[in-house]
């Protein structure tokens, strides 16, 4: 299967108080179209930095990232912004929403800003409502963001991430602020999106979440130390047990 994301010898260095901090060191991996990959590792290992760098939210120091056959390092800031808006989707642990907009208006905002579909606001609203209907939150479309639960808000974030039909979705601890019930609901929706063909790369500290993916990359001190392929044909509980055993072997 063709790769949608190819990362080669990726390095990311920050200068803090005139000291060099090498957060990512010669990281290489790829993600196939339609694949769902989890990034795991200890706190401070570089998980979120990796996600931000390979998605073009942060500039790399060295190396190469190819997204859908295009080099991120060769893109201008405007080209990167357009790629993130129209070809990528993003979900974060902190559910960033505009407080002066309704839930539905927040969801369709990327479509309004995009030149990809060239559709009317009415058409964008209809698509946003359809996404909300699929995720079971159409009843809160007109609500303010402080009038919905955390689980509903995170599902709204998923709707927003999908409004421009992205080729790949990037998620940083998408269930980290949710209880177990809401976490399971959000992962159910992400699995549905993935099964429909959307590639997903997510950062998580939760083995129950990672066990829903097809592959896990384990990162320590800015390097990928191991890779684990998950058999999706096994019951979820068996996948969780096998993954936990592997994580313990990796020093989790």
pLDDT (tens digit per residue) in 168-196: 999 999 888 788 888 888 899 899 999 99
Q: Please, are residues 212 and 237 in contact by the beta-carbon 8 Å criterion?
A: no
Whether residue 122 lies inside any domain: the answer is: no
Whether residue 161 lies inside any domain: the answer is: no
Whether residue 184 lies inside any domain: the answer is: yes
Whether residue 144 lies inside any domain: the answer is: no
Q: b or e along 104-140 (b: 16 or more beta carbons within 10 Å of the residue's beta carbon)?
A: bbbbbbbbeebeeeeeeeeebbebbbebbebbebbeb
Whether residue 142 lies inside any domain: the answer is: no
| pLDDT for position 51 | 96
Whether residue 49 lies inside any domain: the answer is: yes
> How many domains is the chain built from?
1
pLDDT (tens digit per residue) in 104-125: 999 999 999 898 778 899 999 9
- pTM of the prediction? 0.92
What is the domain extent for residue 176?
3-96+168-249
The answer to whether residue 131 scores a pLDDT higher than 80 is: yes
Whether residue 139 lies inside any domain: the answer is: no
CATH classification at residue 40 = 3.40.50.300
Whether residue 191 lies inside any domain: the answer is: yes
């Amino acid at each position: 299967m063709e790769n949608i994301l190819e990362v080669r010898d990726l390095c990311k260095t920050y200068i803090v108080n005139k000291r060099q901090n090498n957060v990512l060191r010669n990281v290489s991996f790829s993600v196939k179209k339609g694949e769902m990959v989890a990034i795991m590792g200890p706190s401070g290992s570089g998980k979120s930095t990796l996600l931000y760098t390979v998605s073009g939210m942060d500039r790399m120091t060295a190396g190469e990232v190819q997204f859908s056959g295009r080099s991120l390092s060769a893109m201008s800031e405007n080209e990167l912004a357009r790629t993130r808006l129209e070809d990528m989707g993003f979900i974060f642990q902190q559910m960033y929403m505009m407080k002066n907009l309704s839930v539905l208006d927040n969801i369709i905002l990327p479509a309004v800003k995009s030149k990809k579909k060239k559709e009317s606001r009415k058409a964008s609203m209809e698509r946003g409502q359809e996404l909300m209907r699929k995720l079971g939150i159409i009843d809160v479309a007109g609500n303010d963001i402080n009038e919905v639960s955390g689980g509903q808000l995170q599902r709204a974030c998923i709707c927003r991430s999908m409004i421009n039909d992205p080729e790949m979705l990037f998620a940083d601890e998408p269930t980290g602020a949710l209880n177990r019930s809401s976490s399971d609901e959000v992962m159910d929706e992400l699995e549905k999106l993935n099964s429909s063909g959307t590639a997903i790369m997510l950062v998580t500290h939760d083995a129950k979440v990672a066990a829903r993916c097809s592959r896990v990359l384990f990162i320590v001190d800015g390097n990928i130390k191991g890779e684990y392929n998950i058999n999706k044909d096994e019951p979820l509980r068996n996948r969780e047990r096998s993954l936990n055993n592997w994580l313990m072997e990796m020093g989790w």
